Chain A
Amino acid sequence: MSLRSIGAQSVGRRVALELGSPGFLAIIASPQARAVERIAERLGTNAAQLLASEDIRAFAARLHESPADPIIVSGLDALTDSAWQKLDRQRDRLLRDRLTLLVLSMESAERLSRNAPNLASLFGGFYQWNEAPRAAPDPATAEADQATFDILAKQWIEETQSASSVTRKVRHPAYQRIIAMGERAIPPILRDLEREPRMWGPALHAITGALPVPPADAGKVAHIARAWLDWAKDNGYVW
């Protein structure tokens, strides 16, 4: 299960891309996030909510009765492993001609992935709900982090700019030290990405676990930079 992070502000935009077409999306959120209510509010009157049920026939009937786009399904934490397996076997009953959005906990998402792999393969994406705006870094720390980054980045560029090998670029000790800075490297990386679409994607992926680059944009450096900058903005980064 490949997880992507999505900011609370971006859910509406992401869901809007799928409206009008059959399919599934999953939003993974803790119960405290009140994700269902907030997504429904963001999507307006077009969205409907539905509680999941182990009675697959009844559940499928209620899915197909509603013309809403999307239907937001919750209550999935109550489903057992065998219930997910049943859903997997009867996945064709669940597919509507419009979007079905599942909001579930990480535990339920893992249960889905483990017990309903065929159903999971129908999903257009699994998104981790990310709502907390990030605090701006302390200015003195930020300045020190930028200085460290600048030294390491300069060394990395000078010693790898003749290389086409992404592996060699990522393996370089200076690049690895930037990754080791963790979250503190992200603002300097983003500032550099705004100036030049360098090979910072692997570093950002290593630090955050995110994979915001659409498959069609693989290798397109300007698009990759844009995807990461948009992802960072959606996830509350300040740089």
Chain B
Amino acid sequence: MSGERQRAALIEHYFPDIVDWGYAVTSDITCTYNCIAWAAGDDSRYWWPTEDGSAYWPPEAPRSLTVDAFAAAYGLLGYVVCDGEDHEEGYEKIAIFAETSGEPTHAARQVDANDWTSKVGDLHDIRHPLRALEGPEYGRVVLVMKRPVAARSAIAPPE
């Protein structure tokens, strides 16, 4: 128990208001994958549009640090832009965060009507209300996308 509190303390260090929102730690600390990968359903590697092999990026998606490029990457997994973050039966959603400059910072994946799941950098996965992660670290939700739940197995992330 004290170990879990210690790990949660790191999350609360970066997101001081998250306690008031309510959240749960759902994994150990790992740097194997990042939030962009986790939102894509991939827990085997980092996703980011780099040129030096430090991260994976779908070859068909534009390799640029823009929300459009990230949307294109998720589009390859069957996601399309949608109007809102409300849970829709038969669909799963992802939300892309960006700084005021427009540079993407984070992605989260919807779990149910109340919660989303996020990989917090090199720390834990957590389950949280979507807006709980808005703020100085990640900026704001700028785009929400959805796909039919059936598409999850039909269009899996690459091996």
Is the beta-carbon distance between A166 and B46 smaller than 8 angstroms? yes
In the complex, chain B residues whose CB is within 8 Å of the CB of A214: 53
Cα–Cα distance between A138 and B103 once the two chains are bound (Å): 43
Known: A162-B120, A167-B103. A219 touches B45 (CB 8 A): yes
Check: B114 CB closer than 8 A to any chain A CB.
no
In the complex, chain B residues whose CB is within 8 Å of the CB of A218: 45, 53-57
In the complex, chain B residues whose CB is within 8 Å of the CB of A213: 52-54
Give the residue among B36, B45, B122 with the most A Cβ atoms within 10 A.
Answer: B122
Is the beta-carbon distance between B50 and A166 smaller than 8 angstroms? yes
Is the beta-carbon distance between B54 and A219 smaller than 8 angstroms? yes
Check: B146 CB closer than 8 A to any chain A CB.
no
- Minimum CB–CB distance for A104 against chain B, Å: 26
In the complex, chain B residues whose CB is within 8 Å of the CB of A227: 53
- In this complex, what residue of B is CB-closest to A166? B48
Check: B137 CB closer than 8 A to any chain A CB.
yes
CB neighbors of B among A213-232 (8 A): 213-215, 217-222, 224, 227
Is the beta-carbon distance between A160 and B121 smaller than 8 angstroms? yes
- Minimum CB–CB distance for A178 against chain B, Å: 15
Is the beta-carbon distance between A202 and B65 smaller than 8 angstroms? no
In the complex, chain B residues whose CB is within 8 Å of the CB of A165: 48, 103-106
CB neighbors of B among A192-221 (8 A): 196-199, 201-202, 205, 211, 213-215, 217-221
Is the beta-carbon distance between B31 and A196 smaller than 8 angstroms? yes
Q: Please tell me which one of the listed residues B34, B52, B65, B137 contacts residue A201 in the complex, with CB atoms under 8 A apart.
A: B52
Is the beta-carbon distance between A197 and B31 smaller than 8 angstroms? yes
Size of B's binding interface in residues, CB under 8 A: 33
Check: A161 CB closer than 8 A to any chain B CB.
yes
Q: Is the interface of B mostly helix, strand, loop or mixed?
A: loop
- In this complex, what residue of A is CB-closest to B32? A221
Known: A218-B45, A219-B46, A221-B31. A161 touches B122 (CB 8 A): yes
Check: B44 CB closer than 8 A to any chain A CB.
yes
Cα–Cα distance between A162 and B122 once the two chains are bound (Å): 6
Is the beta-carbon distance between B52 and A205 smaller than 8 angstroms? yes
In the complex, chain B residues whose CB is within 8 Å of the CB of A166: 34, 46, 48, 50, 54-55
Cα–Cα distance between A181 and B31 once the two chains are bound (Å): 25
Check: A163 CB closer than 8 A to any chain B CB.
yes
In the complex, chain B residues whose CB is within 8 Å of the CB of A198: 31, 122
Is the beta-carbon distance between B31 and A201 smaller than 8 angstroms? no
Give the residue among A161, A202, A215, A222 with the most B Cβ atoms within 10 A.
Answer: A161
In the complex, chain B residues whose CB is within 8 Å of the CB of A222: 32
Q: CB-defined interface of A153-174 with B at 8 Å, one 1/0 digit per residue?
A: 0000000111111111000000
Q: CB-defined interface of A15-55 with B at 8 Å, one 1/0 digit per residue?
A: 00000000000000000000000000000000000000000
In the complex, chain B residues whose CB is within 8 Å of the CB of A161: 10, 121-123
Known: A168-B105, A219-B46, A220-B45. A162 touches B121 (CB 8 A): yes
- In this complex, what residue of B is CB-closest to A199? B54
- In this complex, what residue of A is CB-closest to B50? A166
* A residues whose Cβ falls under 8 Å from a Cβ of B: 160-168, 196-199, 201-202, 205, 211, 213-215, 217-222, 224, 227
* B residues whose Cβ falls under 8 Å from a Cβ of A: 10, 14-15, 31-32, 34-37, 44-48, 50, 52-57, 65, 103-107, 119-123, 137
9 example contacts (A-B, Cβ-Cβ < 8 A) are as follows A161-B122, A162-B121, A163-B105, A167-B65, A202-B50, A213-B52, A220-B44, A220-B56, A224-B54
